[in-house]
Structure 1
Amino acid sequence: MKKILILFVVVMYLAPQNLKAQNDGAAVATVAGGLLAIGAGIAAIEQMKEQAELTATEWFLTNHPEYNKFSLKTLDFDGKKLKDMSSTSVITFKIREFDIKGNEPELGKKLVLFGFTSYGWINEYGIDFSKVEWFLIDSNEWMNMMTAYTKVASSEKNEGTIRGALKDGKVVNKGVKVKNREDIDFYKIEGDMYLVTDYSPEMKFIYNERSLGIYLKETMNLIQIGRGNLINIHEFFFDE
């Protein structure tokens, strides 16, 4: 809402300037209309974010009643435009368990909840959650996933070396960067090239030019997690 108010103030400031310069109300209407459209898009994204967080919280409460103190926030709505969200194939949520010590929370275990989407998951009414499949992981499972991904995306096949690099280093656009050690570089391949590994009974991993592809065997959907999202998840688990 703060962004919308700022836009409104900008409209109020620009309107008199345009009237003096052009003496034409059409110019003011054009500026105001464009900014109001931007404001509507911001409001729609914020509404979807709240809707997604509520549904994810309900899913977590229903399927994991063992957690009775936790926080849940989206990882990937900030900075997104409405047109970008319709093509998004996964929503990610960071979950943090905590306990109360004295009068303050003491942070504990970290989890990430994936909401894998399928075609038509956003419509005129918002998010259709019947088209979202949920998958919860902890830091150990994420390490297993990233190890398998790094093995298929690079020439490094030694699991111990990969795990050490992932734990001590950073995932970047071109691979895994490790201070005072040799980096692990990802293959440079074209956009129509795919490297595949069979990860589990539920999914295959696919390396394809700056993204992690997850092929869900049951639904036969190919989900793409962008490199930026990979980096954010890895930093949540290991850098904070």
Structure 2
Amino acid sequence: MKKLFIIILTVLIFVPKQNNAQDNGAVVAGAVGALAAIGAGVAAVEQMKERAELTATEWLLANNPDITSFSLKTIDFEGKKLKDMSSASVITFKIQEFTPGDKPELNGRKQVLLGFTSHGWINEYGIDFNKIKWFLIDEPEWTKMMVSYVKVASGETSDFNVKSTLQNGRIVNKGVRLKNKMTIPFYQLSGDMYVVTDYNNEMKFVYNEKSLGIFLKDTKDLVQIKRSSLIELHEFFFEE
């Protein structure tokens, strides 16, 4: 909505103050039409975000009966366009449990839910949430995934060194930083170069300079987690 406000403000500032009321009216009408289209797009994405959160909540309730009180927040929906979401992608959610009470604090177990979408999950009939493959990941599994990712993205080979650095440092755009020092720098690759590692029976990790790519063996889809989302998820687990 902030972006929409900026667009509206820009239109109001730069619409020419012409003497010809008819011309001015046409310009304003065109601007209003454009803003209406933008507003419809924003509303559609917001509606999709709400439906995705509902579907994720339903999946969690159906598949994890031991989780009885939790918070679920979407991470990777901001800034997406409808055309970008129609292909294979991943929706990320932060989940944290808490003890019920008056104004409770989020102080329980943290997990991440990844929803991998397949091609055609958005079509002319709407959203097909059956085309989502779900992975619920706790801190040990996330650490294991990030160790594998950092190793394929850098020249580091020691699991122990990578794990220690990850748990005490933070992932940034160019590597893993520990106490303001770039301890494990990532390879500098061009946009069309990839390094691959076989993570488990379900997925491979693919590194290039812009993101973490995950290749799902079952659907044969290659999806990407934005570096900003990756950093936010890691900080979610290891923030002080």
TM-score normalised by L of structure 1: 0.88
Aligned CA distance change for structure 1 residues 3 and 215 (closer, same or farther; 3 Å): closer
Aligned CA distance change for structure 1 residues 156 and 48 (closer, same or farther; 3 Å): same
What is the Cα deviation at residue 112 of structure 1?
0.7
The correspondence of residues 74-85 of structure 1 with structure 2, limited to 5 A, is 74-85=74-85
- The number of residues matched between the two structures is 236
Q: Is the 8 A contact 2:176 2:182 kept in 1?
A: no
**Code of the aligned partner of 2:193:** M
Give the SS at the match of 2:104: strand
Tell me which residue corresponds to 1:91: 91
Aligned CA distance change for structure 1 residues 19 and 180 (closer, same or farther; 3 Å): closer
What is the Cα deviation at residue 22 of structure 1?
4.4
Tell me which residue corresponds to 1:154: 154
Could you tell me how far apart the structure 2 residues matched to 1:151 and 1:2 are?
A: 38
- Identity rate of aligned residues, in percent? 60
* More displaced 10-residue stretch of structure 1: 125-134 or 109-118: 125-134
* More displaced 10-residue stretch of structure 1: 175-184 or 206-215: 175-184
What is the Cα deviation at residue 21 of structure 1?
4.5
Give the SS at the match of 2:98: strand
Gaps of 5+ in 2: none
Check if 1:63 corresponds to 2:63. yes
Q: Is the 8 A contact 1:7 1:35 kept in 2?
A: no
Q: Is the 8 A contact 2:194 2:208 kept in 1?
A: yes
What is the Cα deviation at residue 110 of structure 1?
0.8
Give the SS at the match of 2:26: helix
Could you tell me how far apart the structure 2 residues matched to 1:198 and 1:110 are?
A: 26
Tell me which residue corresponds to 1:231: 231
The correspondence of residues 88-237 of structure 1 with structure 2, limited to 5 A, is 89-101=89-101, 103-107=102-106, 108-179=108-179, 183-237=183-237
Could you tell me how far apart the structure 2 residues matched to 1:125 and 1:171 are?
A: 40
Could you tell me how far apart the structure 1 residues matched to 2:115 and 2:223 are?
A: 10
Aligned CA distance change for structure 1 residues 41 and 88 (closer, same or farther; 3 Å): farther
Aligned CA distance change for structure 1 residues 188 and 7 (closer, same or farther; 3 Å): closer
What is the Cα deviation at residue 28 of structure 1?
0.9
Gaps of 5+ in 1: none
What is the Cα deviation at residue 85 of structure 1?
2.8
**Code of the aligned partner of 2:116:** F
Could you tell me how far apart the structure 2 residues matched to 1:91 and 1:169 are?
A: 25
Aligned CA distance change for structure 1 residues 202 and 36 (closer, same or farther; 3 Å): same
Check if 1:37 corresponds to 2:37. yes
**Code of the aligned partner of 2:179:** K
TM-score normalised by L of structure 2: 0.88
**Code of the aligned partner of 1:106:** E
Could you tell me how far apart the structure 2 residues matched to 1:32 and 1:182 are?
A: 49
